Amino acid sequence: MVLNSIDIAMRLGLSFLAGAIIGFERASRRQVAGMRTHVLICMGSTLLMILSIWLPQEFSHLKNGDPGRIAAQVVSGIGFLGAGAMIRLGNNVRGLTTAASLWLIAAVGMTIGAGLFLGAAIAEGLTLAALWGLGKFESRIFPAERNKTLEFNFKNGDPDINKLLSTVKSFGVRVLSMDVAQAFDQKGAKLRLLVGFPSATDMPRLLRALKTIKGLENVGLKEKY
């Protein structure tokens, strides 16, 4: 099928709508890439896909016309924008989902540009289901948590580490790593834990439970974003 002005306008309009829908969901979660970013990426990839199809048609006398040549560069080039959407905060990385949505919306744009409207519509619907439905499902099964550092000072050189770890884990706190660089001696011991605190953790109650451990002198809590 030869592309005409109506086809081009319709495909660009559909890509505008597809990008706006996914971008609205990302903007509602205050992500770095919102509606404008998703719309521009989706329309840009659609336009490049249209160009990829139009060039071999317009220059049909050339034998080496390949509609997929420009589109292949979009797939690799969109990775730079995805990397810009990711932010590393301490031990956490934010923006992976937004980076994936940028990559996906570029694929949707190319699909629309190629005229595969059903495939683009199905991908758009499944993307919304993943961002909305799976997001709520994950938050119930895997509650949000923040990484923090717990520092323990013991009076003696032989602390009950097993009881300490079991007490921490009983409050739903995940132990990510344990600092064993500082050796225990007869004067005292120090222990540092990197843990993941669920948002619903009762911190005062946890601290009271830790104080019952024999030999524990004090507990320090530091933020790890």
Mean pLDDT estimate for the chain: 80
Q: How far apart are CA 201 and CA 213, in angstroms?
A: 19
| Contact of 95 with 85, CB cutoff 8 Å | yes
pLDDT of residue 10: 93
What share of the chain in percent tops pLDDT 90? 20
Query: What average pLDDT score do residues 203-223 get?
Result: 81
Query: What average pLDDT score do residues 116-145 get?
Result: 82
The domain boundary, picked from 141, 158, 175, lies at: 141
Q: How many domains does the chain have?
A: 2
Largest CA distance in the chain: 87
Q: Are residues 29 and 105 in the same domain?
A: yes
Q: Are residues 131 and 215 in the same domain?
A: no
Q: What is the CATH number of the domain that holds 217?
A: 3.30.70.60
Residues 78-116: tens digit of each pLDDT: 877 777 766 655 555 567 788 888 889 999 999 999 888
| Contact of 140 with 175, CB cutoff 8 Å | no
pLDDT of residue 109: 92
Predicted structure pTM score: 0.62
pLDDT of residue 37: 87
Q: Are residues 29 and 84 in the same domain?
A: yes
Residues 46-84: tens digit of each pLDDT: 998 998 888 877 776 666 667 677 777 887 778 777 777
Which residue range forms the structural domain that includes residue 120?
5-141
The domain boundary, picked from 96, 113, 141, lies at: 141
Q: Are residues 56 and 162 in the same domain?
A: no
Cα–Cα distance list, 96 to 65, 72, 103, 207, 222 (Å): 36, 22, 11, 34, 25
pLDDT of residue 177: 79
The domain boundary, picked from 114, 141, 168, lies at: 141
Residues in the chain: 225
Q: Are residues 98 and 151 in the same domain?
A: no
Higher pLDDT, 26 or 95: 26
Q: Are residues 11 and 44 in the same domain?
A: yes
